Structure 1
Amino acid sequence: MLKLRISLGDDVVGEVRTLFRYDPERPYEVLLTFHQGRADEADWVFSRELLRDGLRALSGQGDVKLWPAYCPCHGSTLHLALESPHGSALLEASKPRVQAWLDRTYTVVSAQAEADYGPTDAQLSALLAED
């Protein structure tokens, strides 16, 4: 569980407890659960590759964007910008802690081994074929 800083408006910053999860049966995905209170949680699922790329440079489009930054107060950080029909959020996490977590996921399922999961090209073609 990490505490991410969240922008709540002009110069107002709060904290959101965030659980980073990874399921080796779904190796392309990472799941972040934001705990905003006792019973108030929000889940975000996005690609592990997006997280990996966002630790290095601006990554993503649409609902999820990530990029690294440096803050004199907090050091090396990862910014997450999330958009939904219910609103938007700008969060900041410790880049080294997120990187360490992500590295552990690659010890479970390597980037090369991801290809062994999910549908084959033939299965995707059949799924996308017009009837």
Structure 2
Amino acid sequence: MGGRNDRNDRDGRRDRKDGPAAGGTGADGPGADTTGGEVRQELTVDLVLAPDRSVPVPALLRYRAADPYAVHITFHLGQDSPVTWVFARDLLVEGIFRACGHGDVRIWPTRAAGRSLMCLALSSPAGDALIEAPTGAFASWLERSLQLVPAGREQESLDLDQALAALLAGH
């Protein structure tokens, strides 16, 4: 499983591999954190290896008001470097209710053994992965992100003057 170093593809999603983060626990419990302009949620997801076999993987969900259109999901795969996928928050919001996405990131809701799950199919040149995660943890975290920056008001969180200044300064 791995992310690409691309910034934007044609439907506005962003997916890239970037730096480390922490892994951990469940819904709004000890792994949840909302501070300043960021909403974080540690949880454990399942990496599906076969229809009847999966392994638990610590993950970190992160949303930043400074990057209001994107969600960051970091997977901690043992000794390897963490892998972070970044894509549109709207894609994840829609994926709670119905199948969506195409290409590198596809999301859909499902039920298994009486549990509501979200499936994330991730594809990159480094390989493909199918992730199953508890819908409740994603929904709770997304709700907190929408409280921080409501849908349709993302552009108000962007500091375009600062971004332009950084671009012109070569950062």
TM-score range, shorter chain: 0.7 to 0.9
Structure with greater Cα Rg:
1
Give the C-alpha shift of residue 119 in structure 1.
8.9
Deviations 1:58-111 (A, max 9, x none): 0101100000001115x0000000000000000100001110000000111111
Greater relative contact order structure (CA < 8 Å, 6+ sep) = 2
CA-based RMSD of the aligned residues comes to: 1.7
Identity, % of aligned positions: 37
Aligned-partner Cα distance in 2 for 1:2–1:23: 18
Q: Tell me which residue corresponds to 2:28.
A: none
Aligned-partner Cα distance in 2 for 1:72–1:35: 26
**Which of 87, 92, 116 is the equivalent residue of 1:46?**
87
Q: Tell me which residue corresponds to 1:66.
A: 107
Deviating runs (4+, > 2 A) in structure 1? Answer: 115-120
Aligned-partner Cα distance in 1 for 2:137–2:48: 20
- TM-score of the superposed pair, with normalisation by structure 2: 0.65
Describe the SS at the equivalent of 1:115. helix
Whichever residue aligns with residue 60 of structure 2, its letter is L
Q: Tell me which residue corresponds to 1:2.
A: 43
- TM-score of the superposed pair, with normalisation by structure 1: 0.84
Matched positions, count: 119
Which one has the bigger helix percentage?
Answer: 1
> Unpaired segments of 5 or more residues in structure 1?
121-131
Which one has the bigger strand percentage?
Answer: 1
